[in-house]
A and B are shown apart, each in its own frame.
Chain A
Amino acid sequence: MTAFRAMLGRELRLALRGGGDMLTLVLFFVIVGAIVPFAVGPDRDLLARIAPGIVWIAAFLAMLLGLDRLFRPDHEDGSLILLRQADLSLSAVVAAKLIVHWLVSALPLLLASPLLAMLLAMELETFWRVLLSLAVGTPALAAFGAVGAAVTVSIRRGGLIAPILIAPLSIPVLIFGTGSITATQSSAALLFLAALSLMAVALAPFAAALAISSGED
């Protein structure tokens, strides 16, 4: 447990002191959301109707953007090899990285979402549901992302391939995420989203660790 906590601390320090990565992601999230009105026209009714989908797409893209720093820096400077030989199992290492990844790339998006809600003419009630669905659904996105990053970590151009692999797997998350906002059976969709998140977060560390250890040796 101490090792796990040390791992969490290491990842957090690296993420927080590593410069403006977090701010860049938030900026990207807001800009993607703010670009849509230029493309579809600033019609308030239309925007309000598609706003939940826009927010979800923006969050999905922003989280893809942050994936490359999950394992790649550790792979490049060799610390991933050291982590594999540590007493702490690789799955636990991945779990720690996953938690920190969510904290630094999903939580800021949640905090920034009021800004996007305002720009997209969202009702207050819709906004709360968007926030809830994002909070429940982003762990699943982070988990799928971790698997994709682990699969591609030993490829030099892996950053380009990971999104292609992750996007099809993330479709259920998007369906239930926006379903829990707009659909008629929204509470059922929210429960499905929660189930998906819990399952993905529980299984992803093992799958990602397996992918890393089979790609490294």
Chain B
Amino acid sequence: MTLDTTQKQSWWSRIAHPGQFVIWTRPLLWPLTILTALVFVVGLYFAFFNSPADYQMGDTVRIMYVHVPNAWLSQFVYGVMAVSALGTLVWRHPLADVSMKAAAPLGALFTALALFTGSLWGRPTWGTFWEWDGRMTSTLVLLFIYLGIVALWRAFDDQLRAARVIAVFTLIGAVNIPIIKFSVDWWSTLHQPASVFRADGPRMPGSILTPLFIMFFAFTFLFITLQLKAMHTEVKRRRVMTLQRRAAQGEPA
């Protein structure tokens, strides 16, 4: 983290310098947190009190308002990780490393929540917690990939070196995930007759779409808030590590 700060010319390198990034994003953190909480309150109010129960599924349809945003985030976070991985490999930018590292556990969490809420929803509606359906299977594989990346981050001692290696793996995963998705769909259509899972479902009325959209924004804001906080923590952790290393070498910290 010995960045040369004298040559920062463009606005982009100025705001993307890790120290600067922490400084200009820190004031955003509280407003974002409050905004997230507010959107959650509104969304949950709509989800619980201002949307109809499904005529078949009853109140369990409300699980959707938590389930679908998590499922969307499970893929969106991988996108964030893949873009950060490009930043790491192409520009060797330390902020990209930090963003990649911060996103991995969050992605694993959202994917796990999507699977968890999905199985809670599946029990009353399909009569089973788990079905080897194409979409569920590929989400499970996505969770394994996230956890593998988290394990990889933990295994490396040198975080700068780790970032580049993990960036390579993240991009390989990004290429492979569509292949996995496609192969798993192909596989499950062979084994499971098209019975329970209707991919698009019935056309949704606005009374269901409104809370879904609000919850969707709530969870996305939650991710952005957590991601920013995790990035701040990671920048600070690296600063502490650098200070410790200097102290161990006997230089003035």
> Closest CB of chain B to A92's CB: distance in Å?
18
Q: How many B residues touch the partner, as a band?
A: 20 to 34
Provide the residues of chain B in CB contact with A155, threshold 8 Å: 152, 155-156
B168 within 8 A of A: yes
Stretch at the interface among B44-52, B141-149, B210-218, B240-248: B141-149
Partner of A171, one of B148, B168, B184, B190: B184
By a CB distance below 8 angstroms, the chain B residues around A207 are: 168, 172
Q: Which residues of chain A are within 8 angstroms of B190 by Cβ–Cβ distance?
A: 179, 183-184
Q: Decide: A165 near B141, CB < 8 A? Known: A152-B155, A154-B161.
A: no
Tell which of B13-21, B116-124, B175-183 binds the partner. Answer: B175-183
Closest A residue to B143 by CB, please name it. Answer: A168
Counting chain A residues whose Cβ lies within 8 A of the other chain, the interface size class is 20 to 34
User: Shortest CB–CB separation between residue A165 and chain B, in angstroms?
Assistant: 5
Interface 0/1 of A176-213, CB less than 8 Å to B: 10010001100000001000100000000001001100
Which residue of the partner chain, among B145, B182, B187, contacts A168 with CB atoms under 8 Å?
A: B145
Q: Interface majority SS on B: helix, strand, loop or mixed?
A: helix
Q: In the complex, are the beta carbons of A151 and B165 less than 8 A apart?
A: yes
A132-176 vs B, Cβ < 8 Å mask (1 yes, 0 no): 000000000000000100011011011001001101110110011
Knowing A184-B190, A196-B179 touch, does A161 contact B161 (C-beta < 8 A)?
no
The CB with the most chain B CB atoms within 10 A, among A158, A169, A184, is that of A169
Q: What CA separation (Å) do A210 and B165 show in the bound complex?
A: 8
Residue B186 interfacial (CB < 8 Å): yes
Listed by A's residue number, 12 A-B pairs whose Cβ atoms lie within 8 Å are A151-B152, A152-B152, A155-B156, A164-B144, A165-B169, A171-B180, A175-B186, A192-B183, A207-B172, A210-B89, A210-B168, A214-B168
The 9 closest A-B pairs by CB, nearest first: A214-B164, A172-B183, A168-B144, A211-B168, A215-B165, A175-B187, A165-B148, A155-B155, A175-B183
